[in-house]
């Protein structure tokens, strides 16, 4: 922490403004990385077990899960056995924190995750399908017959309604505290 706060200014590292809690988190992270560094030429963490990431409180995690995740998921339904399916706690944590796909590289996104869009023209004509691309000026829809259609956007015309199943995950990302993340992962790990 003194290093972050400026004890190495003479050597060229400026003081970095950071509250003590964040500075402590950064220090913990740096230590955890250094812990996995092996001898030169050796892959990281050979000969040393990876640090255990299951540090939370599973009971608190269960309470959090019931409040924030229970509207879409259930421990006895879709997430039953998730800790058996994804046995590595770190991979399991990535799956829910990173919003899924980034935690499982190489696996195509399941259809339950693909954003869809409905475009309604002033004439009442509708185009509905997979959202391929959207910005302020254009929206491209992947139609069920595998063709694509692009519409020019001008403010609210045509009307564009996006449905993104993973939006909740991305929105939650800015809501979790570190403790929530640790607790929820500790709970999910018990869903064998
Ligand atoms: C608004 C709905 C919604 C909320 C709220 C939500 N999720 Fe999800 N979650 C989804 C959808 C949709 C998927 C993708 C499902 C799929 O791919 O089959 C998903 C995927 C997942 C997966 C991966 C499941 C698998 O089978 O690979 C995990 C784990 C998960 N969510 C955990 C959580 C946790 C923990 C929370 C609360 C902190 C949460 N979710 C909140 C909708 C939601």
pLDDT digits (tens, 9 = 90+) for 71-119: 999 999 999 999 999 999 988 998 888 765 443 444 556 677 889 999 9
* pLDDT tens, residue by residue, 48-57: 666 688 989 9
Tell me the CA–centroid distance for residue 78 and ligand 1, in Å: 9
Q: What pLDDT score was predicted for residue 103?
A: 37
Q: Name the more confident of 5 and 41.
A: 5
Ligand 1 test: best mutation among 56, 67, 72, 181, most atoms within 8 Å of CB?
72
Q: What is the mean pLDDT of residues 138-162?
A: 96
- Higher pLDDT, residue 172 or 122: 122
Q: How far is the CA of 59 from the centre of ligand 1 (A)?
A: 19
Residue with CA at minimum distance from ligand 1 atom 3 = 72
C-alpha 48/C-alpha 90 separation (Å) is 16
Is the pLDDT at 178 greater than 80? The verdict is yes
How many angstroms separate the CA atoms of 65 and 56, rounded?
13
pLDDT at 21 over 90: no
The residue whose CA has the least distance to atom 12 of ligand 1 is 165
| Ligand 1 cavity residues, CB under 6 Å | 65, 68-69, 71-73, 79, 82, 95-96, 100, 110, 112-113, 165-166, 168-169, 172, 184
Residue of higher predicted confidence among 1 and 180: 180
């Amino acid at each position: 922490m003194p290093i972050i706060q400026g004890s190495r200014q003479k050597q060229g590292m400026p003081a970095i403004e950071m509250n003590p809690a964040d500075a402590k988190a950064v220090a913990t992270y740096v230590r955890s990385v250094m812990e996995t560094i092996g001898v030169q030429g050796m892959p990281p963490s050979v000969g040393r077990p990876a640090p255990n990431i299951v540090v939370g409180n599973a009971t608190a995690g269960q309470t959090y899960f019931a409040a924030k995740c229970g509207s879409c998921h259930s421990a006895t339904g879709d997430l039953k056995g998730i800790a058996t399916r994804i046995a590595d706690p770190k991979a399991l944590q990535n799956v829910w924190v990173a919003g899924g796909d980034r935690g499982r590289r190489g696996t195509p996104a399941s259809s339950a995750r693909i954003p869809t869009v409905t475009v309604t023209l002033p004439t009442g004509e509708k185009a509905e399908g997979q959202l391929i691309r959207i910005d302020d000026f254009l929206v491209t829809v992947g139609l069920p017959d595998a063709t694509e259609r692009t519409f020019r956007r001008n403010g609210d015309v045509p009307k564009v309604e996006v449905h993104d199943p993973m939006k909740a995950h991305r929105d939650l990302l800015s809501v979790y505290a570190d403790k929530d993340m640790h607790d929820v992962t500790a709970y999910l790990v018990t869903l064998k």
